[in-house]
Structure 1
Amino acid sequence: MTADLPELRGARLILRRPIPQDVETRLALGRHREIVEAYGGIFDPSTIFTRADAEAAIRFIEQQDYAWVIDAGCFVGHVRLHSIDWHDKRAALAIGIDDQAYLGKGYGTEAIRLVLGYAFGLGLHRISLRVLSCNSRAIACYRKCGFVEEGREREAALVSGAWQDDIIMGLLDREFGPI
């Protein structure tokens, strides 16, 4: 964990490190088909989301060097940079909104733009991501943030019995506009 990771503030949200209350909030959110499948997971309605699951989810964020909780008054998800290569000045981005009430309302876009500003401010040149081709909401969000499709891995993920392509998207520092 990076103790000095800054808190990033937007118009409607704060990106911050996890706090103990996040476990309770994550537990109350449970698991939803649309969100599980957007991650490429298999949704089983009979599977109960447990306290151990919530603790593991928050612990995962805590263990990442560049990961923030998306706080819109409380925990609604997380965003992180990973696979950072300081020599080539690149990293990958991942985001997850775990509260259905915040899907499709611009919170992901706001969080991503805050992280991009931070990442490019650190001197990174390139940020990339992978997204399932069936996740049209996320693709629209990424495009809104300036990402462009750079490639595609055909039938790379089996989601609910159907093959999905993995779309690779990227953004260069010079393509990123002001927040």
Structure 2
Amino acid sequence: MEDEAQRLYQQAEFDLGDAVTIRCSDNFRSPRVICDVINALSLVRPPIRSLNPYTGELPGIRTYGSDEELLAAAEAAVAALLARGFALNDIAIVCGRGRERSTLLNRAQIGPWRSRRFTGEYDRNGEPRWSSGELLVESVYRYKGQSAPAVVVAEVDFAELDDAARRKLFVALTRAQMAAELVLSARAEACLTAAFEQASES
């Protein structure tokens, strides 16, 4: 009922007293290479064990330093997935920021594609209203528990690979069933590079 590695909000943990506790690190959804990346970055402890027969490929990494570069990098990431044979409706852009602070979640169009995103409004039945578009753009907070064949993990920005950054990356990367692309700020990319180098030395 609760996974510490996927706790994105700073809320107090709860205790169910005598409830049976089950811990399982098996991952059936993610390609093995993505699981290797997750373990190399120590995004979760204990390390996850990949039970997916599909090997997959290393995620492409693109960096940005401005909103214009972010849009261009997100477009390039989607184009790379299309070139690999994924259909547009098999791709989801998962943003590391919520609607209030996100650039991508407030764009009607990314590259040549209209974005399908939550408008922030609800209908009379309490159902969320969505914009009409063909490219799904969602926040990691709202997309938790869902998945897509190919995921662009975008608007990832942190100065330190701390627990909060690790959880967010873990949740976002494990949304991908077959492929992932990363769109990172320059400082986040530097943090990941340092973590990879440390992992290779140990």
Which structure shows the higher strand fraction? 1
Greater relative contact order (Cα 8 A, min sep 6): structure 1 or 2?
A: 2
TM-score by length of 1: 0.28
Structure label with greater radius of gyration: 2
TM-score by length of 2: 0.26
